[in-house]
Amino acid sequence: MRFILLLFAFLLTTSCSHHNNYTRFVNSRQSFVKIEMIAYKYPCESSVDCPDTFIVASGSGVRVMAKGKKYVLTAEHVCDTTEVTLAALEAGADINVDIYAIDLEQNRHKLDTVKKEPRFDLCLLRGPTLSIPAVRLSPRRPEIGEQVYNFASPVGIYGYNMAPILDGYYSGPYRGHAAYTIPAIGGSSGSPIVNKGGMLVGMIHSVHNKFPYFSLSPTHEALVYFLFTD
């Protein structure tokens, strides 16, 4: 009888732990956003009231906590407007470029760049009207072989309360980056990698051009440095 009671207590404890992890994982999904770079012509003041607008590029992002404040984290090449602006100047076009975050309810929020780090391909943006929850950075790097999850907008796939959920494994360091066996393609750049507890451990910035199931992220150490130093 005593053995049965101990076994029941063990099962109850482990199932509660699994449920708590699942809840945190699902909640972290609410922090995901699709990123869109939108160009518009003068004399409009913004892309909101300008009829001649077009999407230049799209990617992924996540709302994060950094030094007690909430920002949007994405890849540096997703938020870099330099190439679009230079191309417009060479073509003699008068355009401006705005960056927006689109939440799971399909609300659009204008973003302003806070800082960028091309060395790690990281970008931090501010969204004054964005009110979704923020994920926290895990206090530790993932273990080799640890299963992780990815929310992304690959090739622009995204919809109301729908963002593709992918998974894979942390495979270790690779040429100064962190390697994951997570499938990725254009649009996945800037997408968050979280552990089973829903905490941020990485962010996809590139994928192998011959093997789209091998993705690269800044290392955990690079994320810590970028998010918590000026």
Residue 41 pairs with which residues in a beta bridge?
95
Per-residue pLDDT of the chain (230 residues; tens, 9 = 90+): 444 443 334 334 444 445 566 667 778 999 999 999 988 877 776 777 677 788 888 999 999 999 899 999 999 999 998 887 777 766 666 788 899 999 999 999 999 999 999 999 999 999 999 999 999 999 999 999 999 999 999 999 999 999 999 999 999 999 999 999 999 999 999 999 999 999 999 999 999 999 999 999 999 999 999 999 98
**Per-residue model confidence (pLDDT) at position 95:** 82
Buried b (16+ CB within 10 A) or exposed e, 146-157: eebbbbbbbeee
Q: 76: closest CA among 206, 210, 208? A: 206
Check: pTM over 0.95? Answer yes or no: no
The answer to whether residues 172 and 136 touch, using CB atoms and an 8 Å cutoff, is: no
Residue 162 pairs with which residues in a beta bridge?
159
> What's the CA gap between 109 and 187, in Å, rounded?
18
**Per-residue model confidence (pLDDT) at position 43:** 72
Q: 79: closest CA among 38, 23, 48? A: 38
